[in-house]
């Protein structure tokens, strides 16, 4: 029972990070109907920027803020520089461009920062919390991870719901043509969507790196699981991204915990199993609306 609680809590904590990546993918998908394969790479790069700032200033929070700001800038620049010129061309072109961007960013990270594994500091203690003498399987930092992702998600949700900028973004995602006819600058809205996605990715990068180390490919597997979470939840649904992330985090945590020594090797297979089951039941994710397909 105690074990179960531990696996649950640590699963939720890691699930939050998958949720952040999934959410960033959903933001971009809703705006541009495009999967951004560079999301993990961008997060990796902003985390390197954070580590430089932390070493330079000695302040974790300075690095944290700079990373998020860099994420916003990187997201917007990527959209303006390489994604916008690819619009109107075959759909897969933009996907390959994001793959090119990922490879470019990973190469640049290798050139600037080298390929060796670097440790990344955590904001709070990573020593496991206990209730009485029972270890909970999570630390103060894990609580911070969960709180940070939840807070950001809530802020975004409130922003979408109650601000006029949020209304414009929802309108543009709902139907770009009608939004444009209503006087919304859809192109600008899309750029803002990429910037927000960059912020979420940067957040995920800073939050996950204390437990994974930082190297040019460090975000690859996080991206794959974040993508999986987004697909499980339904790419059109921000709520689905969060639920998908938590579900995947839990499942992988239980798999790693209960499957013994082979657990860590089998986690991708467990994730695949969950994905297949979910997609067989709901081919467009758990939170898919009525099925609309272009005829």
Partner 1 sequence: MNALTMPRVLGAALVTAVVVVILSIQLNTFRDYQIAEIAIEVTAVAGLTVLTGLSGQISLGNGAFMAIGAYATALLTLHLGWPFYVVLVAAAVVTAAAGAVVGVAAARLRGPYLAGATLLLGVALPSLAEAYPGVFGGDQGLDVNFTTPAFLGVNFPLTRWQAWVCSAVALVTLVLLANLGRSRVGRSWRAVRDDEVAAALAGVNVARARILAFVVSATCAGMAGALLAIVTGLVAPGAFTITLSIALLTAAVIGGLGTLPGALWGSLVIILVPTYATDVATSHGLSSSVASNIPVAAYGAVLILVMLVFPQGIQGAVRWAAGLVGITSARTGRPASAPEGDELPPSRHQVLLTPGGDPPDPHEKEDTQ
- Smaller CB distance to partner 1: residue 58 or 283? 283
Interaction pattern, residues 97-136, with partner 1; x per rule: CB under 8 A: x-xxxxxxxxxxxxx--xx---------------------
**CB 83 to partner 1: min, Å:** 10
**CB 221 to partner 1: min, Å:** 8
- Residue 285 binds to partner 1 (criterion: CB under 8 A): yes
**CB 207 to partner 1: min, Å:** 22
Helices (H), 58-139: 60-78, 91-113
Beta bridge partners of 135: 130
| Radius of gyration for the chain, computed over Cα atoms and rounded to the nearest angstrom | 19
**End-to-end Cα distance, the chain:** 52
Residues 19-58 that bind partner 1 (CB under 8 A): 29, 35, 37
With contact defined as beta carbons under 8 Å apart, do 138 and 16 qualify? no
User: Residue 72's CB: how many other CB atoms inside 10 A?
Assistant: 19
* Interface pick for partner 1 out of 145, 231, 241, 246 (rule CB under 8 A): 231
For residue 34 the two structure tokens come to 């495009």
- Please give the Cα distance from 36 to 135 (Å, whole number): 39
CA 127 distance to own-chain centroid:
25
- Residue 230 binds to partner 1 (criterion: CB under 8 A): yes
Question: Which residues lie near partner 1 (CB under 8 A)?
Answer: 29, 35, 37, 82, 85-86, 89-90, 92-97, 99-111, 114-115, 216, 220-221, 224, 227-228, 230-231, 235, 262, 265-269, 271-272, 275-276, 279-280, 283-285, 293, 295
């Amino acid at each position: 029972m105690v074990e179960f609680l531990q696996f649950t809590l640590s699963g939720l904590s890691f699930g939050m990070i998958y949720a952040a990546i999934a959410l960033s993918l959903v933001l971009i998908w809703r705006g541009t109907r495009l999967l951004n394969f560079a999301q993990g790479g961008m997060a990796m790069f902003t985390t390197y920027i954070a580590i430089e700032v932390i070493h330079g200033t000695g302040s974790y929070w300075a690095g944290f803020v700079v990373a998020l700001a860099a994420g916003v800038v990187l997201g917007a620049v990527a959209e303006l520089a390489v994604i916008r010129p690819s619009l109107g061309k075959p759909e897969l072109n933009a996907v390959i461009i994001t793959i090119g961007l990922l490879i470019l960013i990973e190469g640049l990270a290798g050139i600037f920062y080298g390929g060796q594994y670097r440790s990344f500091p955590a904001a709070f203690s990573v020593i496991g919390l206990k209730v009485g003498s029972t270890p909970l399987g999570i630390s103060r930092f894990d609580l911070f991870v969960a709180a940070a992702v939840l807070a950001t998600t809530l802020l975004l949700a409130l922003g979408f719901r109650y601000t006029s900028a949020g209304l414009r973004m929802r309108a543009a995602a709902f139907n770009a043509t009608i939004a444009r006819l209503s006087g919304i600058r859809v192109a600008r809205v899309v750029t803002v969507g990429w910037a927000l996605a960059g912020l979420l990715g940067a957040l995920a990068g800073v939050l996950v790196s204390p437990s994974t180390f930082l190297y040019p490919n460090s975000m690859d597997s996080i991206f794959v699981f974040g993508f999986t979470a987004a697909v499980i939840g339904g790419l059109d649904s921000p709520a689905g991204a969060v639920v998908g992330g938590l579900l995947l985090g839990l499942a992988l945590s239980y798999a790693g915990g209960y499957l013994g020594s082979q657990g860590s090797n089998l986690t991708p297979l467990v994730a695949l199993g969950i994905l297949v089951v979910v997609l067989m039941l709901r081919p467009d994710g758990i939170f898919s609306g009525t099925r609309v397909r272009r005829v």
